[in-house]
Amino acid sequence: MIANIVTAVLLLAGSAFCAVGALGMLRFPDLLTRLHAATKPQTIGLLLVLAGVAPQTGSVTAATPLVLVAAFQLITAPVTAQTIGGAAFRAGVIDPATLTLDETGRVT
């Protein structure tokens, strides 16, 4: 009974985070803010969904792949966003005037 309630709450929270992230992808004006919307809420949403599925698996052995998926997501999402942002900055897609802090060492 308790596992079902926990699962329902975590799945709803995870789907809400993913929906907010998708809305941010549609509404935000530039690449950097869209990258933020694509990585932060989507990662948290997936982690909440995985945490909601875990109590329903029934055993630790069955939940192990969920932990691996979560670890892979936590490792790859920030690296991908950083790589895309850096490539866009080097390609001149991002206006340096919109940045609060530019640590690239470029003089503009």
User: Number of structural domains, the chain?
Assistant: 1
Query: What contacts 45, CB < 8 A, 6 or more positions away?
Result: 13, 14, 15, 16, 17, 18, 21
54 is a domain residue: yes
108 is a domain residue: no
- The pLDDT assigned to 58 comes to 84
51 is a domain residue: yes
49 is a domain residue: yes
Mean pLDDT in order along the chain per 10 residues (108 residues)? 92 96 92 90 95 91 94 94 90 81 65
- The pLDDT assigned to 99 comes to 77
76 is a domain residue: yes
Residue 38, domain extent: 2-98
- The pLDDT assigned to 106 comes to 63
- The pLDDT assigned to 17 comes to 95
- The pLDDT assigned to 107 comes to 53
Instruction: Determine if the pTM surpasses 0.85.
Output: no
104 is a domain residue: no
